[in-house]
Amino acid sequence: MSDKAKQRYLLQGNEAIVQGALAAGCRFFAGYPITPASEIAEQLSITLPAVDGTFIQMEDEIASMGAIIGASLSGVKAMTATSGPGFSLMQENLGFACVAEVPCVVVNVMRGGPSTGLPTCPAQGDVQMARWGTHGDHPIVVLSVSTVMDSFTITVKAFNIAEKYRVPVILLSDEVVAHTRECVELPDAEEIKVVDRITPSVPPEWYKPYEGDARGVPPMAAFGDGYRHHVTGLIHDEMGYPTQRPSEVKAFHERLTKKITRGFPDIQMTRGYYLDDAEVFVVAYGAVARSALRAVEDARENGVKAGLLQLITLFPFPRRALTPLLDQCRAVLVPEMNLGQISREVQRVNNGECVVAKHNRIDGKFITPRELFDRLMKL
């Protein structure tokens, strides 16, 4: 690494997502205007064409999701960005990306809901929707960001996971992170690990487009590469053709799930703070993790052995990081800007020894360090 001082930037979360996407190799964006995500589209409409990429504003979010899938099938890394109402519209084609195993990144800058809700207020109400929003059983990866720097690094990671496992990755930001400006030092291009999808190594006549490799991930040919193949939203066999044969349907679903299960150590990301000797701890994600960290530090100063487990990956739920702490601590506090969407996951993996306390705000206001400190002192 060079000693030269890194370039420092004053960026908001949405801008850092743009920089992260470009660094990860994203060269296609399709989207539809929506608060509080619009800056991502605006910036990419300027930056993408300068790097031979493509920006397009579609007629709605259904179309945006369709377009990024089409681009990804043509071998280009693609992304869209939206907020709750648009994310609702994307669920249909998000399911297509799941079943046809199309790598792509979907950013949802969460705002208050349901429906038009609170367009300019922060919320974390779309967490379970990100997991289960599209119909049918499906594995999906959901990541969350809590700082401007995260917005850069986790966006790169989102693309890497999407490419490595051939899955859509949902990146959840929120109105606070999206519009907060922070000074960040962006890494140089050579310091950034960028993963590209694996392409077929066999000649076209041997290619089975949906035959998993050892990890369960099929090598992916792009349209136009000479590997003519069929892509469908129907459940399909290894050749990509529709099937209703129970053995093939079962094998298909199992492979989709197992490729993610096998990737748990790689996909499930958390950050621990002050956890070694913790007696109580907080599980937090997104902007709320920032308030939680301050509250934990204040609690420590006041004699409470508190810690924080920040979730970067929300789904697949990082159970392995959590269970030892649930055994170690007498209580866990789960603050969320919703009525308890991750706390139910925490309860699900708890073996009953640890008290699970919730702290919820749905009034469009951010959860402050002070209110979490007060809760921690009484746990």
* Binding-site ranges for other proteins (CB under 8 A): 28, 30, 46-50, 52, 54, 56, 58-60, 62-76, 78, 92-93, 95-96, 222-226, 228-234, 239, 241-242
Q: Name, in order, each residue with C-beta under 8 angstroms of 344's C-beta and a sequence gap of 6 or more.
A: none
Structure letter (DSSP) for residue 100: T
Q: Least distance (Å) from other proteins to the CB of residue 236?
A: 9
Q: Least distance (Å) from other proteins to the CB of residue 343?
A: 34
Q: Least distance (Å) from other proteins to the CB of residue 93?
A: 6
**Which one, 1 or 50, has the nearer CB to other proteins?**
50
How many Cβ atoms sit within 10 Å of the Cβ of residue 94?
24
Helix (H, G, I), strand (E, B) or coil at 310: strand
Q: Least distance (Å) from other proteins to the CB of residue 221?
A: 9
Q: Name, in order, each residue with C-beta under 8 angstroms of 250's C-beta and a sequence gap of 6 or more.
A: none
How many Cβ atoms sit within 10 Å of the Cβ of residue 293?
20
Helix (H, G, I), strand (E, B) or coil at 303: coil
- The per-residue DSSP string of 11-67 comes to EEHHHHHHHHHHHHT--EEEE---TTTHHHHHHHHHHGGGGT-EEEE-SSHHHHHHH
**Which one, 38 or 93, has the nearer CB to other proteins?**
93
- Residue 369 near residue 347, CB atoms below 8 Å: no
116-122, long-range: CB within 8 Å, 24+ apart, which pairs? 116/85, 117/84, 117/85, 118/364, 119/35, 119/36, 119/83, 120/35, 120/36, 120/175, 121/175, 121/364, 121/365, 122/174, 122/175, 122/176, 122/287, 122/337, 122/364, 122/365, 122/366
Structure-token pair, residue 108? 């949802």
Q: How many Cα atoms within 13 Å fall on the side-chain side of residue 150? A: 24
Any idea which residue has 């590997």 for tokens?
A: 227
Q: Least distance (Å) from other proteins to the CB of residue 97?
A: 10
**Which one, 140 or 149, has the nearer CB to other proteins?**
140
**Which one, 114 or 224, has the nearer CB to other proteins?**
224
Q: Least distance (Å) from other proteins to the CB of residue 53?
A: 9
Q: Least distance (Å) from other proteins to the CB of residue 108?
A: 19
Distance CA 211, CA 78 (A): 23
- The per-residue DSSP string of 163-214 comes to HHHT-EEEEEEEHHHHH-EEEEEPPPGGGS----PPPP-S-GGG--TT---T
**Which one, 106 or 127, has the nearer CB to other proteins?**
106
**Which one, 232 or 302, has the nearer CB to other proteins?**
232
**Which one, 224 or 324, has the nearer CB to other proteins?**
224
**Which one, 39 or 174, has the nearer CB to other proteins?**
39
Q: Least distance (Å) from other proteins to the CB of residue 170?
A: 18
Distance CA 83, CA 61 (A): 10
Q: Least distance (Å) from other proteins to the CB of residue 135?
A: 12
**Which one, 163 or 345, has the nearer CB to other proteins?**
163
**Exposure class string for 253-265: b at 16+ Cβ within 10 A, else e:** bebbeebbeebee
**Which one, 95 or 335, has the nearer CB to other proteins?**
95
Q: Least distance (Å) from other proteins to the CB of residue 63?
A: 4
